[in-house]
Amino acid sequence: MLKEIEDIKAKYPDTRAALLPALYIAQKEFGWLSLDAMKAVANALNLPESDVRGTASFYSMFRLKPAGRNLIQLCTNISCMILGAERLRDLLKDRYGLLPGGTTEDGRFSLVIMECIGACGTAPAMLVNTDLYENLTEHNIAEILGKYK
Which residues lie near ligand FES (CB under 6 A)? 75, 77-80, 116-120, 123, 125
Give Cβ neighbours of residue 50 (< 8 Å, ≥ 6 apart).
none
Of the two residues 51 and 86, which places its CB atom closer to ligand FES in the complex?
A: 86
Of the two residues 8 and 75, which places its CB atom closer to ligand FES in the complex?
A: 75
Give Cβ neighbours of residue 122 (< 8 Å, ≥ 6 apart).
134, 135
Q: Least distance from C-beta 82 to ligand FES, angstroms?
A: 9
Query: Backbone phi, then psi, for 110, in 5-degree steps?
Result: -120, 155
Of the two residues 40 and 80, which places its CB atom closer to ligand FES in the complex?
A: 80
Whole-number Å distance between alpha carbons of 7 and 148: 32
Q: Least distance from C-beta 56 to ligand FES, angstroms?
A: 24
